[in-house]
Amino acid sequence: MWDRLVGQEAVVRALRAAAEQDALGHAYLFAGPQGVGRMPAAFALAASANCPERGCGACPVCRKVLRRAHPDVHLVAPEGAQILVGQVRAVREEAFRSPIEGRTKVFVVEDAERMNAAAANALLKVLEEPPAGVLFVLITEAPEDLPPTVASRCRRLDFAPLGSAQVREVLAGHHGIDPDLAEWAGRVAGNLARALRLARDPDAPALREAHLELPGRLARAGPAEAIRAAGEVKAESVAAVAKLRATQEAGAKEHAEVFGDGRGTAAARKRLEDRHRREAKRREMDVYEEVLSDLASFYRDLLLAASGAPDALVNREVGDRIVRAAPRVERRWLLHALDRIEWARRAISRNASPALVLEALFMELGAPRPVPVGA
């Protein structure tokens, strides 16, 4: 299970050593961008903290934890935009109960920077006087947004961003994806989670191509086109969620067949439903994130081409178009466009309406100095 964490050798060494020597801390902070293995590392750690072999990855305990079906391993994630104090209070209560079948109760807190002040305070109280046999793993891409009092109670481990070569290695090596497809997905995706979707979802390449056509469309047309384009992105996110829901329903059915409808299954079913709801919300947001990241990579390529470095382009598939357009675009405008994309990304992550943010962004990208790409 540790071998799957490509590119995080230092983190893996530290965690394995601590687990094998029975020297695990009671709280960890996993800092790093999305899609680099923070979540798999958290569950591998949870398995190690419960496995009789200190983390073999293969025994029933490890397998149950890694399947996310172990009753002593809990995932806490934002309800909507925030992690609320009620969620942390429930964690606190649970932390003081003894484990159901394992050795260590583990609480994995996803997007920990989204705890509101009350929630962070409630967590701080447990971290200050942690009950025995409890392990917290806080996961965040913005450790500086956590209260220092909380962060200082955790052992911090920094996850390195994966390079495109490492993403390619994971896709081809661990997921059996065709090398050419893995090369392309690794190059354009920006992170592992998206690279996997690009490589596995047959609709994904065409959708990405449509994202790369947005700059040209926006440059040629007025605000009506900007609004239409924003509407299309929204439709894409609705479709992505519907697709996910279909796989989730299959999973829920399988769950019902395995566990039946008897007593005691209600809690497990509720956990599964909660997880599905969170995944759907995340998938919806991921589509916006992906569109913004594709746009940014296109404008960055234009900058590279304008600086006379066309060999370094990410979007080689549309390289000709980019190289042709580059001399006609002002570099200052491109920097401004990249800045506005970053603004949009932040606004959406802070719970602004994605549809409205995209409309505003797309209008700006079309005016006042349109990028004449493909015109």
Query: By C-beta, is 102 or 366 nearer to Zn ion?
Result: 102
Among 11, 31, 51, 357, binds Zn ion (CB under 5 A): 51
Query: By C-beta, is 61 or 134 nearer to Zn ion?
Result: 61
Gap between the Cα atoms of 55 and 49, Å rounded: 7
**Residue 63 touches Zn ion, criterion: CB under 5 A:** no
Greatest extent of the chain over all pairs of C-alpha atoms, in Å: 69
CB 300 within 8 A of CB 283: no
Residues 6 or more apart whose CB falls under 8 angstroms from that of 346 comprise none
CB 202 within 8 A of CB 227: no
Gap between the Cα atoms of 178 and 168, Å rounded: 10
Query: By C-beta, is 69 or 90 nearer to Zn ion?
Result: 69
Please give the residue whose beta carbon sits closest to Zn ion in the complex. 51
Quick check: helix, strand or coil at residue 328? helix
Range 197-230 burial, b when 16+ CB lie within 10 A, else e: bbbeeeebbebbebbbebbbbbbeeeeebbeebb
Query: By C-beta, is 59 or 69 nearer to Zn ion?
Result: 59
**Residue 46 touches Zn ion, criterion: CB under 5 A:** no
Q: Given the rule CB under 5 A, which of 55-63, 123-131, 226-234, 295-303 is the region that contacts Zn ion?
A: 55-63
Task: Give the nearest distance from C-beta 267 to Zn ion in angstroms.
Answer: 24
Query: By C-beta, is 51 or 123 nearer to Zn ion?
Result: 51
Gap between the Cα atoms of 224 and 218, Å rounded: 10
Task: Give the nearest distance from C-beta 37 to Zn ion in angstroms.
Answer: 19
Among 25, 26, 33, 56, binds Zn ion (CB under 5 A): 56
Instruction: Tell me how crowded residue 341 is: count the other CB atoms within 10 A of its CB.
Output: 23
Task: Give the nearest distance from C-beta 164 to Zn ion in angstroms.
Answer: 33
Query: By C-beta, is 63 or 175 nearer to Zn ion?
Result: 63
Tell me whether the omega of the peptide bond preceding residue 368 falls within 30 degrees of 0, making it cis.
Answer: yes
**Residue 59 touches Zn ion, criterion: CB under 5 A:** yes
Task: Give the nearest distance from C-beta 105 to Zn ion in angstroms.
Answer: 17
Residue numbers 248-277 binding Zn ion by CB under 5 A: none
Residue numbers 73-112 binding Zn ion by CB under 5 A: none
Among 62, 115, 119, 318, binds Zn ion (CB under 5 A): 62
Gap between the Cα atoms of 85 and 83, Å rounded: 7
Binding-site ranges for Zn ion (CB under 5 A): 51, 53, 56, 59, 62
